[in-house]
Structures are given as structure tokens and as C-alpha cells.
Structure 1
Amino acid sequence: MSSRWFQTVRAFGRRSLAGQFLVFQMLVVAVVLLAVAAVSVAQSTREFRDVRGQRMIAAAENVASTPIVRDRFADPFASKVLAPEVDRAVALSGAGLAEIVDPAGRVLASSDPSRVGRSVNLDVTRADEGRAWFGDDDIDGVHSLIGQVPVLSTRGEVLAIASVSEPYPSVWQLLSGAGERLLLYLGLAAGLGVLASWLLSRRIKRHTRGLEVAEIAGLADHREALLHSIREGVVAVNTDGVITLLNDSAQELLGLTAAAVGRRADAVGLDPVVVDFLLSGEDGRDVVITTRARVLALNRRIASSGGQWIGTVTTMRDSTELAALQAQLSSHKSVTDTLRAQTHEFANQLHTISGLVQLGEYDAVRDLIGELTRRRAEISDAVTRRIADPAVAALLIAKTTLAAESGVTLELDPDSHLGALDPALATDVITVLGNLIDNAVDVSVGSSAARVSVSIDDADGLSISVADTGPGVPEHLREAIFARGVTSKPEEPGGRGIGLALVRLVTAQHGGVVEVGDRPDGGAVFAVRLPSTRVVAHA
């Protein structure tokens, strides 16, 4: 039996999804029909008992009130004498059996002559006590509805009992008795249920592209394995801004958990610039966004199904290491530019000296060399007296030369002070300071009295301030300039690369903050504060 059941289950499992659904729906329809039939049978049975029970009592009362029954019940030939009366009771009431029974339970007369002389169990009735009764009992193994009325003497004694009974109808008879309408309604309901089940199964098959349950489960498993194993982060957002997919890499890059799925992108604690990109970013472009801890390269695409827009899919890569390499390349480029500027300057100076020598103006040569030496010493002394760290000092001297070549004056605040730093911290300070100076020089070129002022103080942690004479930074852009840039298209807004983004990233890695404000005389002031510095002992 168990083997056959197992084979049946396996055969059912091999059916198509639409076929399985059709079978299930038909089973539901069958159950509903059975329930309706059961309720109908129960209701018909109750009505039969109430209505026919009263009729059985009435028929029994009619027999019991007949004078001949009262006079001849004890006659030795009572079975024949009273036979017409019991037959008349059956004919008038439509009952199945009518009998006259003595108080001891022996049948005296019956519409079924074969029952005369049999014993009837009166334990469940009250007729032998002088009361009318109707109820259920078995007669010759047939469940029947019985009505019994006592035949009383003038003194109230129970002489005999008139009993009229009718077998309960079968289930089919009860359903048929409920009327043709019930059968019609049940048939219509069954037909409509089967038709609806068939149409619904066709619709399911169409929407599942004809795929079966095992195939759908396989696709889902492959999708999950693919999305959660790739290195790139993937975030899907529907048209309501709710995150519908977030793979493992995206969770790590954005600092989220799987609990973010099903919530709006602006309600899971993401950086505002990331939320803005996920909900309204440009499509098909690689955009670099800097969070508090990472540099991310994102690409957003519109997702559609059946020609209808269903949301967006954003892929992201961790470009933090790439950004660090870019910062190093920028530093090398800065050194190269400085050497180029100094080479150009020294070439001009050597040409001048050569001409003076050829003219025999030796005193002029001496004065020019002295002036050049004095200027170089002034620049170096102005920096080294205040900045003890050689790497930072070298950067400031190089940037001063580069700024001068662009027509911008770079000044170090006289109150600045910086001791020697740990090499790792010095590298990060150079990244922050170099990018801030480059940005300030670029925006100051062409302004009146183009000037960049730098202030460094390590009295309480490390504070770096860079002020420029450029156009300043509008209030609504003061957060975005640290967070977003566009690669490979520097001509567009925000396309200055990730210099300022690196400033915030490096600052955040040290637990510091970077802010931008307005310079009193026009321009912007970028301020960086690090909570502590690792200063090494002076040599």
C-alpha cells in the first residue's frame, strides 16, 4: 500500500504546474460540493424528522382513537380484526409500517403480517407510561422514525400502543427530495469550478513561461548563487524606492544587512548621496561616490519587464585601493610638475647669467645669483621654520613653485606649526594637503589677487586650513563635492576627479572631519581636523 501511494505521489509530482494546479482546484471543488451535499443531507434529515415525526404521531393517535381498536385489541383474532385499521393508517399517512402492540411489547396487529407475535423494545419509548412519543429506533435492522400513542381505557389505563413508523430515506433520496434546483445548482457550481480551474491553470502556465516547479526552483537557486557570489555589489530598487535585492558584496560595501531588503532606500541609514543616486541617478554612466569609509564606482540601469519599467539595478565596485593609487600617482605627477617648473625656471636663469657673462657684467651676475639664492632661501626658511616634517615641508615648497607658475601666490600662515610625523600619517597628511592646495590653486587662477593661504597647527590634534580666492562653494553643494565625481569626463560638473573625495575618505579613516565655509574676502575655506597626531621625536 505504501509503495503504491509513493508511486502515485511521484506520478503527481511529474505533472506540469498547470496540471497540478488544475487537479488541486478540482479537489477543492469536489470538497466544496461534498460539504454542500452534507449540509443539504443534514438539513433534509432534520426537516424529515420534524415534519414526518408529527405525522407519525397524528397517524398513531388516529389508530388509537378508533373504537374497534379499544374494543377488540384483546381478541384472539385481533391480527385479522384490526388489520384494516392498521392498513388504513399506512395508506393515509404514507408510513411504512403501522402496528398495535400490547404493554408488554408483543405485536398484536401489523400492516406486515409477518411481524405479528414479535416482541418490540419499548425501553426507549414513553408510550407504555401513557404518553405519546416519537423518535428513532431500528425496525428489522432499518433505521426508522417511530410515533407511538397509548390506547387508554376509560379509567386511564394503558390497554395497548398504536405504533406508526417510516424508514429514514437514503442520502440520494434526501438530495433528490431537496429538489431539482439543488441538483442543478450543484451541477452548475461543479461545471463553473472546473472551467475556472482550467482557465486559471492556463493563466499560470502563461505567466510562468511554461516552466515547471523544479525548473523555477532551479532558476531561483542559480540566481541566488550567482548574485551572492559575484564580487561586484548589486542593488535593485523598485519604482517605489524599496530595495528588492541586495547581494553579499553590496551589503559589505554599503554597510547594510539582509534586513534592508523590503525597506525604502532612504530608510536604511545610507549616505544621502548614495540614496540620491539609487533613486534618481543617471543611467549607463560610471559614477564615483565616496562614502565615509569607501570610494565606490557605481553604474545604474533601468530594469523593465514586458516593456514596463519595474525599477533600477545598480552595480558597484570598491575603488578605494584604486583611489589610493590615484592619489600616489597624483603626488608623483606633482613632483614631476615641480621639477619641470624648476627646470624651466633654472633654464631661464642660466640663460640670463650666460648673457651677462658674455656681456662682461660680472657684478650683475653676482647680484642676480645672490637674489635668486635669497629668494629660494626665503621660501625654504618660511616653510622649514614652521614645518618640521620633511615630507610635508617638501610638498609645500613644491606647491609654492607650481602655484607661482600658474600665477597664484601660495602663503603659509606665520602662526603655523607642525612637528615631525610618523611616516604613515605623513603620507596621509600629504594626500589631504596636496589635494586641497591643488583644488584651491585651480579655482583661484584668473581671480584678482590670486592667492592661496595654508594654515597648519598641531597644538590640539592636527588642524589644516586652506583658503582660496575663487568663486566659493554654494551652500547646497558643500556636501556633494566631497562625495561624488564622474570618471573620464572632467569637463562636466563634478568631474574634477576624486581629490576632495579622497580628502574626506582619509580624514574619516583617522576619525576626523572636513568642512567647507566662506572666506571673509570671497572664496572658500576648507578645514580638516584630525583628533590626534603621531608625532615622532625631533632628531
Structure 2
Amino acid sequence: MLLTRTLKLQTKIMILVFAVVVVALLVTNWLTSRSVEIEIQKGTGRQAISVAQLVARSPIIVEGLTGEKQISELQRYARESADATDVEFVVVLDMQGIRKAHPDPTKVGQKFVGGDEAEALAGKEYISVAKGTLGDSLRAFVPVFTANGQQVGVVVVGILLEEIKILEKDTHKALLLAILIGMLIGIIGAYLLSQNVKKTLFGLEPGAIAKRLEERNAMLESVHEGIIAVDRQGMISLVNDEALKMLGVDDSPVGKKFEDFVPNTNLMAVMEARVAELDQDQDFQGTSVIGNCLPMIVNGEVVGAISTFRDKTEVKGLAEELTGVRSYVDALRAQAHEFMNQLHVILGLVKLKSYQQLAVYINQITSEHEEEINLVAKRIEEPILAGFVLSKLSLAREKKVVMHLAEESYVPAPCDHEIVHEMVTIIGNLVENAFDAVRSTDYKEVELHMYYDEGSLYIIVSDTGEGIMPELSNTIFAKGVSSKDGNRGFGLHLVERSIKYLAGEIDFESRPGEGTVFTVKIPYKIKGNQND
């Protein structure tokens, strides 16, 4: 068993094919040998009978047995007949079983030896195997009749079994040579077959093929994209679980036409043009997806095509999350814009040489900026979070929104800094959502209130916006749901996902025309012995 596992596939194929050829040849040889032996014996018997019948009908034999011719003539004719027909002997018996002709003249006149002549003396033709004076032989007995039908004797024609065995041995030698040639051909064929199989399998062993298949299946099922492969006729040959979900089918569609599931597909055109189509918007069973269609080319021939696709809303959501930096970028842009405006004012005062007013202006903006920084830094001990809130305050000023950090706010430094990224996602999206909510109102105010209490951090964002429509209350956190036009509806979904990741809770209260309040509670471990 261990040896079988260590043998290569090519060696196994050679051994198996060679073994099959050898067994087949040996069985064939045995059956053929048996058949040949039987045919040789039958043929020899037929030959002996034919010679005996020919001799028995000879007038010389009849006349010799009736006494009309000399025994010497009968003896000569019997010997000549044996020589002419290539049999071992021709013996002529009278009705008493006495030899009238024999290859050995000294045996003439003696009783026939063998004891198998009785039926012939009774007028029957047959073949017998017995031991005579010349050895074991196959003997044909044919009675001799006169013209009026009277039996006057018997002709015995014999062929030594030794001669038959020599003939059989010659036949066996020929068969053995054929077997050896067949084995040689089998070895060559087994080698060529194993080489062909090895080439077809790219030189891989079964274990390696199984491993690669498992790896391929694992990769297909681990990706978030739907993957469907089709053959040259557009029939589905491969599909992963993600694609099945998007197709909305339970049974495997393998072997069915891809166009039956996606009527507006470009796969056939891609195969004809041999050019890939990348990042194309497609409609997939009513779902908007971003898809790629690529031809599969093997040895210069197009053998099929493969389509990969992903829900467009997921892609956009992922893009927003990955560039969750968006909040940072917007905030930094707002700060840069604010600073640029201030620099323009400073430059103008310098050119006007209004140095006194310049000093007053610089003192004013620096004191305001320092006051804001000190206020935020005092209430939020985490530097990254504090900087992020400052950037949101700058962005609010650019958007003409009154935003302030509640006086009761206090956020101690966290024990685990990994939580900061999730907090940025939560606060950033809630504040952005609040900015959007107050965009069309006359009075634009947003308040951010954060405080720590008994192992939890509370984040409260309130606005004076239009509020949330009642019909959206149950689905507001679902991906793609938004009261605004365009490709929106990812912010609150990301907020909910971050809160779930932190094992927290979120709730909201909204009154149409008055505003909305979002309340978030997340587990929060603080450094050292800080006071609440």
C-alpha cells in the first residue's frame, strides 16, 4: 500500500497497462493453445480416417485379403501408402485380427496389439488412442468390404502421439513468440500512454491535482465577487456561491445557457472579439452590478469566457469605507480654505500697510483658534479624535452651519487605540448626515455631545434639520437607503456596522420639520485611573 502511494502516476499507468496486457496475452495464449491442441488432434484424426478410407477402398487391399493377390503386394502397397500420405504406419488386418501388412515385416502374421480393434472387426469406423508395437499412437480403424458388401478385414492407419506433440510444441513456440512481441508492444504502448496522460495533466500527480482543485474551489468561494465561466457555446461550466445568490437560484445552473439568466450579456461578443470588457455597468437579475468579461484563451484558441461581477452598491460602499479618509479630506480641505481666506486678509492688510489692524486681526484669529483648540483638547484626550472634531468644526464654518461641542463633553484616552478608527467612522458619518439634514433649513445647527460613564462612551449628534420620514424609520440603517437623491445611503450603514463591530448600540429620535437626535453607546475601556 505504501509502495503504491509513493509511485508516480506515470509509473502506475505503465504497470497497470502492462499487467493488463500480460494477463490478456496469457489468457489468450492458454485458450489458443487448448484450441490448437484440439484442432491438431481433430485434424490428425481426420487425416488418419481419410487415409484409412482411401487404402480400404483399394482393390489391392481387397484382393489381398480375399487371397486373390500375394501378401507381399499388400505389404508393399501399405508401405507406399504410408510414405505417400505422411502417416506413421498402415496396418491391414484380416477378420481374425491377424496382421496382413505392417511397417515391420516381422510383425506380419501376428495378432494385432492394442485391443481396440474389436469394433472395427464388427464393421464400424472410429478413431482410437492406444499403445501398439510402435508406441502410443492415434489410430483410425476402417473396415474393408468386398464389392458385394462382405467385410474381409480392417485397415488401421496410425500417427504417433509423439509426432502430434512435436507439432503442438511448434505451435506453442509460435504463440510464445507472439506473446513476447505483444508484451513488447504493450510496454511501448503503456509508456506512450503514460507520457500522453502526464502531458495532458501538465506533469501533475493526482494528489497535486486534487490539492489544486481544492485550492481553486476555496478561492472561488472566498471571494466576494460572483464568478461565472462559460464554454465556447455560452453554456455555464462553473459558478460560485456568490454568483448563485445573485442569480437567485437554488439548483446549479451548470450546463445551461448563460443568456437564460442574464439576457443582456456581452460574453459571446467578448469571445468573438477576443477583447476583455472591464468595469462595465450591467443589470444582473434586476441588480445593478459592476462586471468584467474576459475571454479564456488556451494555446491561441478561445475556449470560453469568464464573467466576474459585484453589487454596485457594495463597491461604492467599500470605496467610501476605504476612503473613509473622505471625512478627513473634506475637513482638511475646509481648514485649508479657511486658512487661505485668513492669509488673503493678512496679505491685504500688509499691502495696505495697516499694521495696527493686522496685529488686531492676527490676535483675534489666533485667540479664537487657540480657544477652540484648547476647548476641544481639554474635553477630548485622544489627539486623533480631537483633531478630527476640530476639522469638523472648520468644515461646519465653511458650510455656514453652527456646530458646537457640548460643554459637558468629555472623552478620556482609550486603552485600545484601534477603537479610534471606528469612532471616526461613527462620528464622521453622523455629523455629515447632520450637515446634509440642515442644508435646506433656515437655521442650521448641529451639536456633538460625547461623554464617558461607567465603562461606556456615549455619542449624541443632534441637528435642526428636516427630520427622517416615517416610512424610512425601519430601514434607515440599510445599505443604499437615503432620503436624498443620487448614490447615497452608505453613511448610516457604515455607522451601524462599526457599532456592531464594537458591540455597541444606536438609537435615534426624529420629528419631521424639527430635527433628529442620534444616540450611540459603545463599550469603552480607558487608560489608567482616569476620572469619569
Task: Give the TM-score band, short-chain normalised.
Answer: 0.3 to 0.5
Q: TM-score, normalised by structure 1?
A: 0.47
Greater C-alpha radius of gyration: 2
Q: TM-score, normalised by structure 2?
A: 0.47
